[in-house]
Amino acid sequence: MNEIKLSIENINPAVLWGPNNDHFEIIKKQYPKLKIVARGSEVKVLGDEHELNVFNDKFNTLLQHVEKYENLSITDIERILGSKVSAAPSADAPADKFNNSEVIVFGPNGIMVKARTANQRRMVDAIVKNDVLFAIGPAGTGKTYTAVALAVRALKNKEIKRIILTRPAVEAGENLGFLPGDLKEKIDPYLRPLYDALDDMIPAEKLKVYLENRTIEIAPLAFMRGRTLDNCFVILDEAQNATDMQLKMFLTRMGPTAKFIVTGDVTQIDLPKKQQSGLHTALRILTDIKGIEIIYLSGEDVVRHKLVKRILEAYGDIQ
């Protein structure tokens, strides 16, 4: 019996082996004549020389795919191994629920970003079928986090070339000039939640490169004026703090191959009292336009500490 050893040292094992080691089990079933043992950063395989050579080629292709895209789906495994495979549903999950597909994106250190509620799953489905998605709900419902995950997935899958994340810097009156420091230091505090989400989904060094070469751009809403945003995934966060004109300006930046997600919480408007939120207007007049979907998240979607839901209920933000 022959033996080969393969290193996976530079690969995120959570991506390669899949949730609950589902991918590992699928790979083993495809090669029943081989004994495959994974330990740490090494895979040891025993069997016939011909079978080992075939496995070596296919497995290295899998590794190259994971290294390049930081993602691996069952469809990818089918394509690379060259035959139809199937994954058994998780023992603790009904067959009609999301299983592997529930993972939107695999982040560093084995982080699996999932759609954790029914409405988050609706967001995942909706952005496939529509080019504009509004995700509206109170704090803690995961609307921004899910939106960023969908953008990162699209980037990793080469569906788009860039991600643009923006928020109205309303606390600074959209006039950042009086704040100390350079531009980045001025705007970072208002955009920190977007950075935090990205940190969970992209390795630090790669994120740094993406930000430097503007594959990922994070900027205040005012900086979108006059641009055409194409071949990219664009998220407007905290849209309740955009005026009618600002939200119209943003939505009309959309190029032919772009995806837009607008997130907001209509109970947390920080605009001056005499100024109307553009989100209210948009939700009223864009409801029946084909290609635009509006999803309302609720207290059932709160995924922060259990007390967050009770706090929101006490303040009357959710029913």
Ranges of each domain in the chain: 2-81, 100-315
Q: What is the CATH number of domain 100-315?
A: 3.40.50.300
The pLDDT, as a whole number, for residue 121 is 92
The pLDDT, as a whole number, for residue 87 is 40
Q: Do domains 2-81 and 100-315 have the same CATH topology?
A: no
Q: Bridge-partner residues for 162, per DSSP?
A: 232
With cut-offs at 50, 70 and 90, classify the pLDDT of residue 82.
confident
Mean pLDDT of 218-236: 91
CATH level 3 topology of 2-81:
Ribosomal Protein S8; Chain: A, domain 1 (3.30.1370)
Specify burial of residue 197 (Cβ count, 10 A radius: 0-12, 13-18, 19+). Answer: buried
Average pLDDT of every residue of the chain: 83
Angstrom distance (rounded) from CA 172 to CA 179: 8
Mean pLDDT of 131-158: 92
pLDDT digits (tens, 9 = 90+) for 182-209: 455 555 666 778 888 898 898 888 899 9
The pLDDT, as a whole number, for residue 19 is 82
Residue 88, SS3? coil
Q: Which of 75-84, 153-162, 256-265 has the lowest mean pLDDT?
A: 75-84
Nearest one of 75, 80, 90, 73 to 156, comparing CA atoms: 73
Mean pLDDT of 90-96: 36
Model confidence at 56: pLDDT above 70: yes
